[in-house]
Each structure stands twice: as structure tokens, then as C-alpha cells.
Amino acid sequence: MPNPPSTPLIEIVDLTKVYKMGTVEVHALRGVSLTIQPGEYVAIVGASGSGKSTLMNMLGLLDQPTDGIYRVRGTESQKLGKKALSDLRNREIGFVFQRFNLLARATAMRQVELPLFYAGISVRKSKEMATGALTRVGLGDRTHHRPEELSGGQQQRVAIARAIVNQPSLLLADEPTGALDSQTGEEILTLFEELHSQGLTLIVVTHDPDVAGRAHRVITMRDGLILEDVQQVPSRPAPAPGGDASVAPVAQPTPDVQPIPGAQPRVILETAGEVAV
């Protein structure tokens, strides 16, 4: 007897978002539907104004849609009160931003302990969990350093440790390499691949084709709609979940991509530049 399908981590049905600016209505999302399974590595790309940032805010439960359905592990977010919504976000979702968002005078340890404080974790347990998260991102020897004592890449690693310390199901990253040089950005992407190989679901919002090329699935947006939703062989694939994350990935040639069944109408873009904006 076949196993029943697993509950999607994320399920969005006909999601819309309308912002009112005086008498003008801005339709940021125009009926977006998608499903993300546990363990996926997804990039969302599109030009400025395409709706990708609005979609990320919806995925992160930072904003509420005007209409449609958003479920996290089968729980419909619109039916939750403020506290239940906050608890769901803190339990399931971690955030990484372009500008690190670190406290200027706090040590790496204190930065990572902060979400645990809000979660009501004891001081002793918080220190243990924060140390583990910092070690996981390669900063076990930098726990007492402040941001001015860390490089840009190390600061982003602290931000990643803070995002994963609660052991969320989903990591949302908004232009995570945008403030970094290419070599440091490569190190952060390699870290993402290691976290993904350990079972973390990743969604990265980016305009950089190299960052998008590392994902296993790419969603392209324009004018508040999904234009294209394709699976791909990543340009530098992560180890399979449960595999040996210490094994260096092997570069792959540019792959063919296959559309995902049930995606919104697939539109072939005329130039690669439109995907990379």
C-alpha cells in the first residue's frame, strides 16, 4: 500500500495583496498559488516591483494577505490570533536579511540568544543552544566578539545562527549575499547548502542569477504573478539530505529545467536578463 502524501510545509492558494495609497490601489500579488514541500531549496527571482518581496513577507508571516489562503504545516494562518501567529512564526521560520540586523554592542552569543529569550527558554539552555548554533555556522571561537570585531561574512554567519537557533523548519533569506564580496558570498552559499543537506527548507529571494543557480527550484515573478516555476540541477548541488555535508560538491554543466506540474501558466522569458534582474 503506497504511503500517504506528506503535508506540505507551505501551501498558498490564490493569494492576493492590495495596498491602498490614497485613492490608488496597488496590486502587489494577483492570485499566487504554490506548494513547498519539507526539505526543498527554492529561489524566488524577479525584477523590482514583481511581487517577490511581498511574497516573502507573506511566507514569513510578517504581513497578512488581502485574500486567499496560506497554510503552514496545514495550519491556516488567517484564522490565528496575534499571539498564535507569532508563536507559529517563531517556531517554524527563521529570517536572514541583506544587512545582518545585528545589535551594535552585543556579542555574537547575545545576538543568537535573543530569540530564545522571547521564546521563554532558560538562561542555561539558551547559552547551550546559542553555542551550538554558532558552532554549526563555523563561529564557535567567536562567541564573545561584537559586530565591529567581525568581518561582513562572519556577521552574516551570526545572523544565520540567530535564524536557526530555534531549529525552525524554514529559513527565509532576502538577498543574503547582497552586502558581501563574491568570495564571502560563496562561503555563505556553501553554508546554506550544508544546512539544506541537514534537512532545512530554504527559500532565497534574490536578483542574482548565481545565487538562484544554487537552488533546486526557481520561481520567477512578474507583476504580482508567478511566470515560471521550474526544477533544476543546481550549478553547485548540495549533498543529499542525510548525506555527508563535508564532501565538496562537484560543479555541474548548465542543466535543462523541467516545469513543475500544476504550476501557474508557464511563460518563456525572451532574455535571460529578465530572470536575473
pLDDT at residue 5, as a whole number:
59
Q: Which of 72, 63, 66 is nearest to 29 (CA)?
A: 66
Which cell numbers in the block locate residue 113?
540568544
DSSP string, 169-190: SEEEEESTTTTS-HHHHHHHHH
Instruction: Give the start-to-end residue ranges of the domains of the chain.
Output: 10-276
Q: What is the pTM of this model?
A: 0.81
Q: Which three cell numbers stand for residue 276?
A: 536575473
Please, what sign has the CA dihedral across residues 132, 133, 139, 144? negative
Residue showing cell 548540495: 238
Contact 197, 37 (CB under 8 A): no
Cβ burial 79-118 (10 Å sphere, 16+ → b, else e): ebeeeebeebbbebbbbbbbebebeeeebbbbbbbbbbee
pLDDT of residue 7: 87
Residue 219 · residue 34 · CB < 8 Å? yes
Whether domain 10-276 has CATH 3.40.50.300: the reply is yes
* C-alpha span between 70 and 237 (Å, rounded): 29
Q: Exposed (0-12), middle (13-18) or buried (19+): which is 158, by Cβ within 10 Å? A: buried
pLDDT of residue 271: 31
Report pLDDT for 150: 95
Which mean pLDDT values do the consecutive 10-residue runs of the chain (277 residues) have? 70 95 92 96 94 94 93 91 90 91 94 89 94 95 95 95 94 93 93 94 94 96 96 72 41 40 38 35
Q: What is the pLDDT of residue 147?
A: 96
Residue 243, all three cell numbers: 548525506
Distance between CA atoms of 217 and 44, rounded to whole angstroms? Answer: 9
How far, in Å, CA of 41 to CA of 271, rounded?
24
